[in-house]
Each structure stands twice: as C-alpha cells, then as structure tokens.
Amino acid sequence: MNINYCEELRAFKIDTENNSYIIAIVDDEGFPGHVYYGPKIADIPMYMLRINENPYVPSKNNRDRGSFMDTFPTEYPGNGLGDYREGAVEVVDSEGHFAVCPVYKSYKIVEGKPALKGLPATFESSRGKAMTLELTLEDKPVGLEFILRYSVFEDSDAIIRSTEVINASDKSVFIKKAMSFAMDLDGEDYELLTLHGSWARERQMDIRPIGYGKTSVGSVKGESSHQEHPFMALVQKGADQKQGRVYGFNFVYSGNFLAQVEKTQFDSVRVLMGINPNGFKWELKAGESLQMPEVVSVYSNDGIGKMSRTFHDVYRNHLIRSPYKDKKRPILINNWEATYFQFDTDKLIAIAKEAKKAGIEMLVMDDGWFGHRDDDNSSLGDWYVNENKLKGGLKYLVDEVNKIGLKFGIWFEPEMISPDSDLYRAHPDWAIAIQGRTPVRSRNQYVLDLSRQEVVDYVFDVVSKVLHSANIEYVKWDMNRQITDLGSYALGKENQGELYHRYVLAVYQLQERLIKVFPNLLLENCSGGGARFDPGMLYYGPQIWCSDDTDAIERLGIQEGTSLVYPLSSMGAHVSDCPNHTVGRNTPFATRGNVALAGTFGYELDITKIPQEDRDSIPKQVEMYHKYNPLVRTGDYYRIASYRENHFYDCYGVVSKDKSEALFTFVQVMGRPNYHSRIIRLDGLDPEKRYAIEGEEGSYAGDTLMKAGLQIQNLWGDYQSKLIHLTEC
C-alpha cells in the first residue's frame, strides 16, 4: 500500500499489494486524466493518455479543443463544454447555466481514512492501516470545488472512491448530479455483469455484451431495490471464477442509485456510479458542502472469484462494525411463517419451549404485536404493545422467554405510517405526499417524511422506549414499500429534490443513534426481503435478510448472486417449512439446512407443528451450525459450479485463511437417469497440503482435489445435498 506524487510527470500513483491506479494532471489548465488501473506496475505510462496525438492538448491546439474534450480520459468529467459523453456532474449556477469543468487545484496525501459525515463508509481498523489521496479540483467560473478521495488499505486490493462538492462562491448553486465515481478505460472486449431481480428472487446474475451507447442499472424507488442492485462489473470476455480481468464497483448507499457504462465512438468505456440524478436537485448555499457516498472498486486479474473474496474481506474488516461481526450469531426462530398475525403470548411461549429443546437460542416476534394490528392494514407508527395479544405486556413475555433460556428479538417497520393509525390521525402531514394528488398506497401504508427532524426524533423515541422496556437483544428493521409521491410539507418548492437523499441520511441517523444507545444490539436490516441489501446497511447491522423466499432451491440463485459481492456472514438465511410458503416446493429438511448454513442460519416455521422427523433433525442441524459456522463466517468463498448455468447442480465452498480446513456444499437440484457419479474439481486448497475427508478413509493432496477432482456419487432424487468437510492431515 502506497500513494506517491511524481512532480516531474505531475502524476499520482496509488499502489495496493497487487494493483496500481494512476492519475496525471495534463496541460496548463490542469485536466485530471485517468492513466491506468490494473495489475501492479513500476512505471507511470503517460503514453496511455495519448496526449501526443492529434487533437493534442488545448495549449498546443485549442482549434480542436472540442475534440480533445470529447476523447480525453478525464478523472471526473464535467458537462456542457465539449465532452459529449455522460458527465459526472451537472449544475445550475446563479445565471442559469449548467456548464461545469473541474480542473486541478491541489492535492493532499494523508495517513488513515477520513470519515464521511452522516454517511456509512469504510474505515481503518486493526486489520489494516489506510492511506488517502485527496485531489481537489475546481471550476472557478461557477465557484465550485470537488474533493476526490482515494483510499487504500494495507490488507486489501480495493480502492475506495468518493466525491465532496464545495460551494466556494457567494451564491447558491443547484447540484443536479454529482457522481461519486467516474473512470474512463480503453474499450477492450468486456462484458457487463450486474444483479437483477424482483421480490422473492433478488440479485440474480446477468452477463451481457457492452454495446455502443449507454447501458445502466439503477433505482428510483428510494432504496437500492429488489429489481436492480448498486453493483456492476466489467468482465473480460471469457473470464470465469479463476482467470480473466474483472473491474467490480459497489455503491455504499441505500437509496436511489445509477450505475452506468458508456461505450463511445472511439471504443473507450466510461463508468459512472452515484446517486441517481432522476428526482435529485440539491441547493448548495454559499460555503456549504455536499458529501457524496463512496464506491468500493476492485480490480482482479484472477477472475470473478478473486473479486468476490476482495469485496468480502474489505467489508468484514473495514465496513461492518457490530460487536457480532466476529461472533457466531444466535440461532433464532422467527414466528412470521409460523403464525403470521395470529399469535398471542401462550403461542409464542409454546414455540419458545420447543425451540429450547431443539437447541435454538433466540425467539423473534415478528409483525403484529403493536397497535390493533391483526393484518397489514393498520397501526404502523403506533409502536405500543397490543395487550389483547400479549397478555401481561411485552416485559412479561420477554421475561418468560428468558426463563426458558432463549434470547428475545422483535420486528419493527419504523419508517412507515398506516392511514389507520393514531399517529396518522394526529399528524397526517408526516406522510410523504403531494398536495392535491391522490396518494399512492402500497401494502396500504405510507412512508414517513424522515426529512423532518421532529419525525426522526419521534421514531427514535418510540423505538427506544420499547427496547428499554424489556431485555430485547435483536431487532429486525423492515421497510415493506418504496417511496412515491415525492413531496414534503417541510421543504420549500426549490428543495423538494432533496427529499430522497435527506430520507436516506435520516435512516442512517436513526440507525446510528440506535446502535450507540444499544451497543450490544444485534441489528438485522430487511426491506420486504432483500430490497435494501447493500453496503450502506451493513455499516449499521452485520446482517441483512437476504430474501423473503426461503425455498432452498430458489435460494441457490439468490445466495450465489449475493455472495458475488457480500460475505456469507452478512446473509440472513433460515430453514422454513414445506410446502414452501412462497413457491409451494417440497425439499428435504437436510437440504434446507445445508443451504441456510451459507448464511446466518435460523428457522422460520412453527416448531410445534412440523413433522416429528423434521423436529428431530433440528438438534443435528444446530450441532452442524456450531461446528461449521466459524469457518463459514471467516473463510474464503469459492464458487465451484452454478445451477444457474448448468441447470442440474450447485456447488460452492469456504476455505479457512490458513487453508487447513474447508467445507464444500453440493446440491443436486435435478436427479438424472442412468447417471452414476460426478467429478467436482475443488478450489482454494493448498496444493502442498494433504486433506482428510470427513466420513471417508484415506487422504488426498490439495493438488489432486483441485486438478483431478473429487467423486460425488449420484444422489437419489431431486433437491438432494451433501456437505464435504476437509481437514488438513
């Protein structure tokens, strides 16, 4: 890890252990140029800027300034001044003009990594020190400054990027777009890898060619969304898990985003990532600054798998802060699919008693415990206990569950308000709405206007009051609808375009306050399943509910896509009942457990009603979790085979950092006739070590298991699975 400035070349060189990133300042005007990002190199190849070719730099050939602007690989492209590619920034200045061109002003190289006020951000930790380059650009006619920050950690190949916009003028400027990150590359034969989905089938991998023009994914839903994800990667054509060039980018933000790649007439590629400019307009008053969220960028010269492991490590070591980060999470049982809204104290205690016998460690009470909520049509915002359901109150229930020997957790949806609620009747103006329009309901609920500090304070006060009232050790924080009707009674007409971003900042403020007042709380984020599974939420809670679809076979694709970027320790995964409540599929109880093991692990069922055979299997699964979770939580992830690609089977594994232990999961999705066995070539092992396979005689060299492979006998039937545990001899 190192950051250096070469005065002779006016160039900055950022080195991680394996990669280099180079920026150069060009011409008297100080255009910031992107020189190189890739495997670590010793030199600064200024020829990659092609500034000695026609149209040359403006000081040598201002006649063709427009041609220069439209071809130069600029580090933070402006707008309206000859660069016809998509810009990173767009403004409206005091004269109504929208042109902007950031050029070099100064730099600073500092030890460590600055925090981003009000935003989640990676940080220096005991796992690795950091260095940061702060590159200040300016546009004097508009009066704006831009601080581009580049941070690296000594234990990671990731480069962390962010942008801060400062109004150095004496008049307001409206920011209509300010991307966190921009990068121009030569347009080699890359393909685009993104994650798409919907409710109950989040984060499905999609790879497609990059054609001419602009290709983007994004969200305007007020959250990162079920449908698209704040991640994209440029993947060398033909690359796979083990080989090929890959550039991956992930946005540390939980609201509207845009991730875009543009292939130009000259076969160059421009990548942009940041807050979606759709619906965004921010008044930046004189002397004020606007900090944009950060982007984690990862270059891998060794395929998609290396990219994934780099993301996993930087998030485990430099983003997740919870005291649970390096601990086994308690095995919980959630009553949602067990009872939905139909429960009372006696029912929850009955579940807790059976759960304790099976070795489960926590009971989580889901939706329906507050106001007069017996379905999803009322009471959001009325966060007081419904004592018709919970006879004796919440503290009595929690105390009884604790006496049984289980921890207790609870569900909230703090960002929402029901039309049928005491809160709405008292404060109808607290709902996000546009006056004069019929409001859009979703799940018969509105969204609270968290741009108003009094609303934020109300939410925090009522949630914290509940948490102070009893020994509650876990919170599931949900958000079951997206934002529409973009209107706030508290913002002026020129500032309505600030609502989306102010809303997300308020969610971050709420969760930051929560974990400071309750530092030992296990916070699991959720949004109708996995609609807000992003790095921003991991900064506040160490795990996120992966999807409302708990079917083991559907989860193979969901968890494959999620693990492309996020560590297994962050993925909320449970064993549920069959037929599955979402898809109606029946799968073996053992397979449900094996698939959920690649996550936080828990149960989503009525343990008092499931078949005795399944109930008897739970203690064995609990034992399995305690045996393997330290490896699953901390190991390196390897994708061996994908059901998405082959339509028959899935295989993935985790290998300990010292390569002394490994666990591979094989799932046979479809049985095949007249088929005897399959050879699986493992990955991530030490070729020089010998490994014993649990339950089998003898041992094998890691080299053999990775090159010749391991024989998997054909399993009888669909949806069968097998765990393969290896230990160093």
Active site residue 548: yes
Active site residue 478: yes
Which tokens belong to 523? 């916070």
Cβ atoms of 390 and 345 within 8 Å: the answer is yes
Look at phi and psi of residue 40 and say left if phi exceeds 0, alpha if psi is from -120 to 50, else beta.
beta
Distance (Å, whole) CA 573 – CA 337:
14
User: In angstroms, what CA-CA distances link 76 with 86, 148, 184, 274, 367?
Assistant: 11, 8, 9, 12, 46
Pairing of strands 661-668, 720-728: antiparallel
User: In angstroms, what CA-CA distances link 325 with 407, 522, 600?
Assistant: 18, 10, 11
- Smallest CA-to-CA distance from 12 within 40, 39, 38, 33 is with 33
What amino acid is encoded at 635 in this protein?
G
Distance (Å, whole) CA 389 – CA 386:
6
Distance (Å, whole) CA 463 – CA 632:
33
Determine how many CB atoms are found less than 10 A away from the CB of residue 612.
Answer: 7
Distance (Å, whole) CA 287 – CA 42:
41
Distance (Å, whole) CA 328 – CA 544:
15
DSSP lists the bridge partners of residue 25 as 32
Which tokens belong to 480? 């079951």
Distance (Å, whole) CA 449 – CA 489:
9
DSSP lists the bridge partners of residue 38 as 20
- Residues 139, 155, 449, 478: which is the catalytic one? 478
- Residues 93, 155, 313, 548: which is the catalytic one? 548
Distance (Å, whole) CA 485 – CA 469:
36
Residues 6+ apart with CB under 8 A from 26: 10, 32, 33, 49, 51, 57, 72
Look at phi and psi of residue 46 and say left if phi exceeds 0, alpha if psi is from -120 to 50, else beta.
alpha
- Whole-number CA gyration radius for the chain: 27
Cis peptide before 277 (omega within 30 of 0): no
Calculate helix-pair angle for 612-634, 345-358, nearest 10 degrees.
70
Cβ atoms of 102 and 137 within 8 Å: the answer is yes
Residue with tokens 């649990």: 694
Strand, helix or coil for residue 392: coil
What does the H/E/C string look like for 227-292? CECCEEEEEECCCCCCCECEEEEEECCCCCEEEEEEECCCCEEEEEEECCCCCCCEEECCCCEEEC
Active site residues: 478, 548
